[in-house]
Structure 1
Amino acid sequence: MRTTVVIITRDRCAELRRTLTQMTALPDAAPIVVVDNGSTDGTADLARERFPGVELIRAERNLGALGRNLAVSRITTPYVAFCDDDTRWQPGALTRAAELLDAHPGLASVTGRCLVEPELTEDPITPELRYSPVRGPDWLPGPALLGVMAGLSMFRVSAFEEVGGFSRRMWFGGEEELLALDLAAAGWWMCWAEDVVVHHAPSTARDPRRRRQLGIRNTLWTLWLRRPVRSAWRRTRTVLGSAPRDRYTAGAVVAALRGLPWVLRSRRVVPAAVEAGLVDLEESQRASVARRYVG
């Protein structure tokens, strides 16, 4: 077995039931580890009782994305496919992503094509991934990326662990940004694959304003942790200029400023080649509907 699937969840019993039902029935099904982030609605009990073949890790509190780190520390396969409790890898997708990682030792991750249920329309971010302007090596099997979506991606475990996985400070919400930049800075490549298909049935059990607040905070932190000063300032103005002017955005800025001492201590600017790719991405990011903080 080459791949383990890792799912983090919290208080989404119905969504997890549907996801596990589909993921365990795949023709290329892989071992699954579910990390329950302190659910109170019976989500963990459902996983244990209805899906005895799935490994369950019960966290006493909400670990956010760190639940993925915990699961990865316990698996033995060379690859890990992250799956949210409302995303489902489609038949053959796990196999195809693993084949790409097998064939390309310099590849850290493969991000799949997301189709949004029920109409199965492409996720709005798809054009950015399909037509990514990032320049990659000729051997790369798909468009080069400098950002990933965790619930749609398979990672090489050795690369993931080399950069420390997801940041404890980021916790959740845009936590992939820093991970992707650290992978690129370490010399790893990431790509998008048209034929790795993942369905997303967006859960209604979410707080979009809180999610936006965390996302803005984490984006600002990532900018000032890894970008040159001029680029960080330019992108900061763009991010805040496109965000709603309300208490959640204000809260994100306050939280980002509170973390400034840590940011300055941990600041490590990416190599020039990575920064060049980030600059190339800025035009598509400015025009992006998918990246706007509107929740």
Structure 2
Amino acid sequence: MPCTVVVITRDRRASLLRTLSRLLALPERPPVIVVDNASRDGTADTVARRFPQVTLVRSADNLGAIGRNLAVDHVRTPHVAFCDDDTWWEPGSLARAAALLDAHPRLAAVTGRILVEPGGREDPIVPELRDSPVPGPAWLPGPALGSFLAGASMLRAEAFREAGGFSPRLWLGGEEELLSADLMTLGYHLCYAADVVVHHEPSSVRDPHLRRRHGIRNTLWTTWLRRPLPSAARRTGGLLYGVPRDRHTAAALAGAAAGIPWLVRERRPVPPHVEARLRTLDAPQRRSRARRYVS
């Protein structure tokens, strides 16, 4: 199998155990790596006992998305499929995504069609992926994207490493956007594939307010790190207009402002051809019901 599946987890043992049972039953028989982000509910010990065939990486700290970087250090296959502890790949989808990456050397990421369980209804983000306005080359095997969804995507491992993986600054929450901009700057493309299917049964163990704070902060950071000044200003104005006026938004804005010194030091706007792709998404994202910063 030309891909490895990577799962990051923290304190969601029941969801993770169900996900691992499904992943290990896949006909592709992929290697599976689990990064436990300092769980306090016995997750790591349970995985080690019940799934000895899984490579378990125990982190002493909660690394968030950076746990995926740690996992990729152990990946020996050409491609890496990410999923969360409450998502899993449908049988055959890993093979289809890997075949697309094998056939197209400048394709860095394939994002699949997400079905929400129970019931198998399409995630609200799917129509936005399917109808993406991002321009792409004729050879691209599906609609071009400006970012990918880490819980439902397969990436070329070499491209992931070349781009530096996920930023430690962002931790978790919209962390894919910065990496996507850097992949496109390196000359790679991202696409959606309707016949690649990933299931998502959202865990009830989450902190939606924390997720919103990080989402707003990280969107602002990525915008000012990679977008030209006029686009960064417009996108910031659109985001501020649409977010709730409450203490969680205030905390997000304070966190974003605290990053101004390193943003100035590390700011590297994308080249014009990448900015042209990203600009096509600004208006649709402002209108999106799937991307609302609410909790």
TM-score by length of 1: 0.99
CA offset at residue 254 of structure 1? 0.6
Give, in whole Å, the separation in 2 of the partners of 1:261 and 1:177. 21
The answer for the alignment partner of 1:134 in structure 2 is: 134
Task: Tell me whether 281-290 or 189-198 shows the greater mean CA deviation.
Answer: 281-290
The answer for the alignment partner of 2:182 in structure 1 is: 182
The answer for the alignment partner of 1:25 in structure 2 is: 25
Q: Which amino acid aligns with 1:109?
A: A
Task: For 1:167-246, list aligned pairs within 5 A.
Answer: 167-246=167-246
The answer for the alignment partner of 1:122 in structure 2 is: 122
Give, in whole Å, the separation in 1 of the partners of 2:102 and 2:41. 39
Give, in whole Å, the separation in 2 of the partners of 1:173 and 1:138. 32
Give, in whole Å, the separation in 2 of the partners of 1:280 and 1:172. 25
Deviation above 3 Å: which 4+ runs of structure 1?
A: none
Report whether the alignment pairs 1:288 with 2:288. Answer: yes
Give, in whole Å, the separation in 2 of the partners of 1:262 and 1:283. 28
* 1:144-200 Cα distance to aligned partner (Å, 9 max, x none): 011110010000011000010000101111100100011011110000000000000
CA RMSD of aligned residues (A): 0.7
Question: Tell me, what secondary structure is at the counterpart of 2:151?
Answer: helix
The answer for the alignment partner of 1:64 in structure 2 is: 64
Give, in whole Å, the separation in 2 of the partners of 1:262 and 1:87. 34
Give, in whole Å, the separation in 2 of the partners of 1:283 and 1:211. 23
The answer for the alignment partner of 2:257 in structure 1 is: 257
Report whether the alignment pairs 1:112 with 2:124. Answer: no
Question: Tell me, what secondary structure is at the counterpart of 2:270?
Answer: coil
Question: Tell me, what secondary structure is at the counterpart of 1:144?
Answer: coil
Give, in whole Å, the separation in 2 of the partners of 1:203 and 1:244. 24
Give, in whole Å, the separation in 2 of the partners of 1:60 and 1:281. 38
CA offset at residue 76 of structure 1? 0.8
- Number of equivalent positions: 295
Structure 1: tracts of 5 or more residues without a match: none
CA offset at residue 29 of structure 1? 2.4
TM-score by length of 2: 0.99
CA offset at residue 73 of structure 1? 1.0
The answer for the alignment partner of 1:102 in structure 2 is: 102
The answer for the alignment partner of 2:149 in structure 1 is: 149
